[in-house]
């Protein structure tokens, strides 16, 4: 069976020191037919120089300069320059399981779903991800999580794997929103008839660290923006009153200190 080209896409601004590990997690994929499209969005550190060096050593990496255009435009720039039938997102401070593309490509071909996300581990600061190797044949059980959009964002952005043309057909990422760009995109995909499926395999690792905007002065603004988006989703998908209770609970959870939320996740 021919293995279709899969494009990793990433945007980054001042991504050091974690970017090296993200790039290595792409290089270490067991699936061989991939490219990586990375947009540097106006870095003022050595990020772009590092990426140019990576590009010069491995032509599967294609680097573009976004010059501070903003995250939405940078994501769309990456998608428009991607050449793969499928695309897989990764953030500059996060990691992909070595078998991520191999497993997602197989599962999506067997199930014929068009969008597949996966479980995501949480790691703190400089802690290394501890990956469990999986043996083929992989189980192909997937769950439709589309309706869960009314409760929260059920899709880990860094674990998504889908057809590139599906994203482009709904206009790509919003270029006016400052946060929840992925959540709002999933909503438009569902409204356009694309079902969101999830596998239980943990195929990505999300890094929690102090430099993230959610954990600094923008946190309250982020939370209330999320609440307004969720309210819109509940209305458009015709959810009942129970979903407004979930919305309130999500707001309370988001207001808890980071340490408390990390403890509850565990």
Residue 62 tokens read as 């294609």
Tell me the two tokens of residue 143: 């769950």
Residue 213 lies in a domain: no
User: Could you give the CA distance from residue 152 to residue 183 in angstroms, rounded to a whole number?
Assistant: 9
Residue 188 lies in a domain: yes
What string of pLDDT tens digits covers the 266 residues of the chain? Answer: 468 999 999 999 999 999 999 999 999 999 999 999 999 999 999 999 999 999 999 999 999 999 899 999 999 999 999 999 999 999 999 999 999 999 999 999 999 999 999 999 999 887 888 999 999 889 999 999 999 999 999 999 999 999 999 999 999 999 999 899 999 999 999 999 999 999 999 999 999 876 665 455 577 888 889 999 999 999 999 999 999 999 999 889 888 887 787 677 66
- Asked if the structure places residue 255 within a domain, the reply is yes
Last residue of a domain, one of 207, 228, 249: 207
What pLDDT was estimated at residue 164?
Answer: 98
Does 252 fall in a domain?
yes
Residue 115's closest CA among 162, 83, 174? 162
154 and 24 in one domain? yes
Strand 86-89 and strand 115-124: the pairing is unpaired
C-alpha span between 184 and 20 (Å, rounded): 29
Together in a domain, 188 and 146 = yes
Q: Are 149 and 237 in contact (CB under 8 A)?
A: yes
153 and 244 housed in the same domain: no
Looking at residue 126, its pLDDT comes to: 78
117 is a domain residue? yes
Instruction: Round to whole Å and give the CA distance between 238 and 251.
Output: 20
- The answer to whether residue 1 is domain-embedded is no
pLDDT for residue 65: 96
Is there a domain that residue 243 lies in?
Answer: yes
Task: Report which secondary-structure segment, H or E, holds 207.
Answer: strand 197-208
Identify the pLDDT of residue 219. 78
How many CA atoms lie less than 13 Å away from 136 in the CB half-sphere? 9
Range of the domain at 234: 219-264
Six-digit token string for 16: 């050091």
- The count of domains in the chain is 2
- CA 22-92-40 angle, 5° bins: 120
């Amino acid at each position: 069976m021919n293995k279709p080209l899969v494009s990793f896409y990433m945007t980054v601004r001042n991504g050091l020191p974690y970017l090296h590990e993200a790039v290595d997690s792409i290089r270490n994929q067991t699936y061989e037919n991939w490219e990586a499209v990375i947009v540097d969005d106006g870095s003022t550190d050595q990020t772009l120089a590092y990426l140019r060096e990576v590009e010069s050593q491995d032509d599967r990496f294609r680097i573009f300069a976004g010059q501070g255009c903003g995250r939405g435009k940078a994501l769309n720039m990456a998608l428009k320059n991607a050449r793969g039938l499928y695309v897989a997102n990764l953030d500059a401070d996060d990691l992909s399981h070595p078998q991520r593309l191999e497993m997602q490509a197989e599962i999506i071909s067997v199930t014929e779903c068009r969008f597949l996300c996966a479980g995501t581990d949480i790691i703190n600061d400089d802690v290394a991800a501890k990956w469990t190797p999986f043996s083929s044949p992989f189980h192909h059980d997937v769950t439709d999580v589309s309706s869960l959009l009314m409760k929260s964002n059920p899709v880990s952005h860094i674990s998504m794997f889908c057809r590139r043309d599906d994203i482009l057909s709904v206009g790509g990422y919003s270029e006016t929103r400052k946060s929840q760009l992925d959540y709002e995109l999933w909503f438009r995909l569902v409204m356009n008839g694309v079902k969101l499926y999830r596998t239980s395999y943990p195929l990505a690792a999300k890094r929690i660290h102090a430099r993230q905007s959610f954990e600094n002065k923008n946190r309250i603004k982020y939370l209330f923006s999320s609440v307004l988006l969720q309210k819109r989703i509940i209305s458009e998908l015709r959810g009942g009153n129970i979903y407004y209770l979930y919305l309130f609970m999500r707001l309370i959870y988001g207001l808890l200190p980071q340490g408390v939320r990390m403890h509850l996740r565990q």
